[in-house]
Amino acid sequence: MSSRRDLLLPLYHVLFVCHPVGICFSTAHSPGSNVPYSSREGAAIRIASWNVNSVRARLPLVLSWLELNQPDVLLLQELKGTDFPADVFESVGYQSAAVTQKSYNGVAVLSLHPIETITTTLAGDEQDSHARFLEAIIKGVRVVNIYLPNGNPIGTDKFTYKLAWMARLEAQMAGWLATSIPTVIGGDFNVIPEDIDCHKPASWLRDALFQPETRAAYRALLALGYTDAFRQLHPDETGQFTFWDYFRQSFEHNRGIRIDHFLLSPDLASRLESCTVDRTPRTQERPSDHTPIVIDLR
DNA sequence: ATGCCTATTGTGAATAGA
């Protein structure tokens, strides 16, 4: 059987130019070219999230991962540049929306299905120009992609910004629960929720991702009524990380942290079938320091 | 291990990441 990857290789260098500080939309010409697995018919939907640490540097890995896993929706974080290769994703059946900025941040949503509505800013701070938020409606589900601020080092305005961003997110998430639209928030939360979500808690004690305020703010999101998809299905499992430092052979020793999450509104939590971390891309050449997390909803 | 790598910008070395 012929490989679609062979067709794609010549396209790797092609980049779609977006507005410098803007938003980029595209519609796939042939949305049926990637046919979802027959086991995922009807209302079933597979959503994945992956901090790629530069979409340009990771394009080959993302394309091969898409071909193998065929998610209905893929959320990308840390695009790291104004150019977004929408045409390349279009050529493999994914329409997209991206919010980008120079050098840093950047989030995008790829979808096999129509992306119905879009919001690109998190309410609560008109001065905030970071490209960290993207809200879409896909197949009747509100799909929110976030790249939550890192916040290091603690004791600086970066940490203040992180906590303020989390408070704004909490307000937004409370509002979504008051609507009739099932909602999933996925992405790089930059939060280590509990001790079991890192290899060695002691080594993260002074880190913004593990501060008591950070963890309390994350628990406040759950207290609204949202469910951490991974923990719902794997309440006591250790060693399931989504990020490993590039240095000190962190991945080889599985010294990582679980910071990429999916939070589900109650109506989606009851539809959750699986939530897995796919470590394969982290084993490949020139990987991101994060690896994808995938949920299947009935 | 307070940056051991990686990436962007831009063509040096600084900044950011987590």
- As a rounded value in angstroms, the CA-to-C1' distance for A271 and B5 is 40
Pairing of strands A272-277, A260-264: unpaired
Give pLDDT tens digits for A197-243. 999 999 999 999 999 999 999 999 999 999 999 999 999 999 999 99
**A107-A121-A218 Cα angle (round to 5):** 75
Q: Is the dihedral of CA A78, A294, A91, A281 positive or negative?
A: positive
A24 has pLDDT over 80: no
Give pLDDT tens digits for A160-169. 999 999 999 9
A20 has pLDDT over 80: no
Rounded CA separation A162/A173 (Å) = 16
A57 has pLDDT over 80: yes
- As a rounded value in angstroms, the CA-to-C1' distance for A104 and B15 is 10
A66 — phi, psi (to 5°)?
Answer: -60, -45
Average pLDDT over residues A106-121: 95
**For chain A, the helix, strand and coil percentages under 3-state DSSP, each to the nearest 5:** 30, 25, 45
Average pLDDT over residues A76-98: 98
Nearest-nucleotide field for A54 (CA, C1'): B7
Determine the pLDDT at residue A25: 62
pTM score of the predicted model: 0.90
Is the distance from CB of A146 to CB of A186 less than 8 angstroms? Answer: yes
A7 has pLDDT over 60: no
Cis-peptide, bond into residue A281, ω within 30° of zero: no
A13 has pLDDT over 90: no
- As a rounded value in angstroms, the CA-to-C1' distance for A186 and B9 is 29
- As a rounded value in angstroms, the CA-to-C1' distance for A50 and B7 is 16
Whole-angstrom CA distances from A215 to A59, A142, A212 are: 33, 25, 5
Rounded CA separation A22/A113 (Å) = 23
DSSP code at position A22: S
Query: By percentage, how much of chain A surpasses pLDDT 70?
Result: 86
Please report the DSSP string for A228-256 in residue order: EHHHHH-TT--S--SEE-SSTTTTTTT-E
Nucleotides of B under 7 A from a protein CB: 1, 3-9, 16-18
